[in-house]
Amino acid sequence: MEIAINQKEIENRIFTIRGNQVMIDRDLAEMDSVDTKVLNQALKRNIERFPDFFRFQVSEDEKNELVTICDRFSSLAHRLKIWAKNGLLSPEWIH
């Protein structure tokens, strides 16, 4: 199934954290029409394909900063997993 996502919607989901352009795991999963849990399980299965600098978890301070920028993250209880822009390969490995 192919999903059309416009460029502006993608740009609105990219944040700068630790000097890197990144996306939140939830947004990346949503764009590929999979549950966030499925995305993160696929990461664990394919961990060797993604160097540490492609993925990391934000600190509580970084999460709070994200919430001030975009309040849709305030309801998330877990520490957010982040994907660096250069780690956003074609997500066919998810399925």
pLDDT-based confidence at 61, cuts 50/70/90? confident
Distance, in Å, from the CA atom of 94 to the CA atom of 54, rounded to the nearest integer, reads 16
Running DSSP on this structure, what letter comes out for residue 84?
Answer: E
Query: Looking at the domain assignment, is residue 2 inside a domain?
Result: no
Looking at the domain assignment, is residue 20 inside a domain? Answer: yes
The answer to whether the beta carbons of residues 90 and 36 sit under 8 Å apart is no
The C-alpha atoms of residue 32 and residue 29 are separated, in whole angstroms, by: 5
- C-alpha of 73 from chain center: 12
The range of the structural domain enclosing residue 82 comes to 7-88
For residue 58, what pLDDT is reported?
82
pLDDT number for residue 94: 47
Q: Is the pLDDT of residue 38 over 60?
A: yes
Residue 78 lies in a domain: yes
pLDDT tens, residue by residue, 3-33: 566 788 888 888 888 888 888 888 888 888 8
Domain-located, residue 31: yes
How many domains in the chain?
A: 1
CA dist 75 and 2 (Å) reads 29
Q: What is the pLDDT of residue 3?
A: 56
pLDDT for the residue 86 = 59
